[in-house]
Structure 1
């Protein structure tokens, strides 16, 4: 698989950090709530702007240590600046495959991150080496092939979404990583102790519905520009998909489900 190509396509385009900043531990990574406790050492791999990571630090408390690592220097700088007052929280810019900390972790979490790599096996193998005995690797990620909308969005967005999946898979990214993570964990000797549905389901008339369902207009306006540059859609198709989808969100959309699973592996 082309790891270099996947890294290029996974790079966060301008504007997408706004999506990351709105996330929280309770709302966006609830699978961790039953495994975190005071005093733990925790690594958040692919921490982005640190919105979830700082929630983890709140649970581990001053006797714990929480590290967030991400390849994006800009996001790490944002995280470090935003949470500089939290003494047990630290951020590292770099690739986890090159990360060699002086201690092992009770919990390693990676959420919505394996979907963006061409080598999830390498990352899972590496993260296992950073776990304490009996430590937990907690993965939260998508099955992008199982998304459902009610009613169906405009044909322009359906085409855009099909091309989005192709753009990803051609770079070696697994559009069904949520389905395959458990098998990869077991391949490297981790015992699956949790595998549950954490799908993101939003429907009218809940508060914030339009913000959630509009995510694909944001994708068209941000990553869509990468897809245009790579030849997967034209600029006209990108603009049409974003415009018609926004109108559909405002006038017709009733629900959307993004299939998301939480899988935890224990380092026995």
Structure 2
């Protein structure tokens, strides 16, 4: 759910002659995917760079999920995705607006402070925290047509069987991104460790609901 990855599909040939290619720049994720899905006909996983997709006009569907929000030049990536699609092919992007997150009740102040620092750390690195709400204009800018937008908000409720795992994403983020943010001068070790600890306690004792704002934008590559 939270992995940084992007995929391209070729549906030109149906059934066993179809082709699906999954691409990521992280070798470890690619190796895990290969191990998990070994033996599935027509499915391959490759190391690649979304800025330089080497598949000119090959795919019926080119899609990414939770990827552009991590890029400093998402427009360049979207152009590469469009180039990989054949004429009449579809481009689909699903991504977040991190500025519209909603917790109920509010998590501890230590997590809110961490989250604020996290958004600033991202924006100072050139990443767009609210990219979901900018995708429509980006699609138009690169010449993608017949665009429509679908809300795909990720809602996590205490009654969900996987509630603790899913809502724990922000404790995991404090643990994994905290050291990077500390090195870059956005937070102290004491602050991110406190955020992780108090958020973990909150999610087991008090948390009821989390909504991650997400939109899916789909369009067509036309001549």
Q: TM-score, normalised by structure 2?
A: 0.92
SS of equivalent residue, structure 2 residue 17: coil
Change (3 A) 1:85 1:228: same
Query: Equivalents in 2 of 1:122, 1:102: separation in Å?
Result: 15
User: For residue 26 of structure 1, what is the aligned residue in structure 2?
Assistant: none
User: For residue 213 of structure 1, what is the aligned residue in structure 2?
Assistant: 167
Change (3 A) 1:192 1:225: farther
Query: Equivalents in 2 of 1:150, 1:119: separation in Å?
Result: 33
User: For residue 256 of structure 1, what is the aligned residue in structure 2?
Assistant: 210
Q: Which stretch has the larger CA shift, 125-134 or 110-119?
A: 125-134
Query: Equivalents in 2 of 1:87, 1:174: separation in Å?
Result: 37
Q: TM-score, normalised by structure 1?
A: 0.77
Cα distance, 1:19 vs. partner? Answer: 5.0
Cα distance, 1:192 vs. partner? Answer: 4.1
Matched-pair contact (CA < 8 Å) for 1:185–1:192: no
User: For residue 157 of structure 1, what is the aligned residue in structure 2?
Assistant: 111
Q: Going by fraction, where is strand more abundant, 1 or 2?
A: 2
Matched-pair contact (CA < 8 Å) for 1:186–1:192: no
What residue ranges of structure 2 are gaps of 5+ in the alignment?
none
State the Cα deviation string for residues 231-262 of structure 1 (Å, max 9, x = none).
11100001100000011111111111000110
Matched-pair contact (CA < 8 Å) for 2:149–2:218: yes
State the Cα deviation string for residues 97-143 of structure 1 (Å, max 9, x = none).
22323761000010000000010110111111111111100000000
Query: Equivalents in 2 of 1:70, 1:199: separation in Å?
Result: 24
Query: Equivalents in 2 of 1:71, 1:244: separation in Å?
Result: 33
Residue 177 (structure 2) pairs with residue 223 (structure 1): yes
Cα distance, 1:209 vs. partner? Answer: 1.4
Change (3 A) 1:142 1:151: same
Residue 93 (structure 2) pairs with residue 134 (structure 1): no
What residue ranges of structure 1 are gaps of 5+ in the alignment?
1-17, 21-44, 48-52
Q: Which stretch has the larger CA shift, 73-82 or 105-114?
A: 73-82
Cα distance, 1:84 vs. partner? Answer: 2.1
Identify which of 220, 237, 254 aligns with 2:191: 237
Cα distance, 1:62 vs. partner? Answer: 1.8
User: For residue 7 of structure 1, what is the aligned residue in structure 2?
Assistant: none
Identify which of 65, 70, 88 aligns with 2:19: 65
User: For residue 195 of structure 1, what is the aligned residue in structure 2?
Assistant: 149
Aligned residues: 220
Residue 56 (structure 2) pairs with residue 93 (structure 1): no
User: For residue 107 of structure 1, what is the aligned residue in structure 2?
Assistant: 61
Residue 5 (structure 2) pairs with residue 46 (structure 1): yes
SS of equivalent residue, structure 1 residue 222: helix
Deviating beyond 3 angstroms after TM superposition, the runs of 4 or more aligned structure 1 residues are: none
Matched-pair contact (CA < 8 Å) for 1:108–1:137: yes
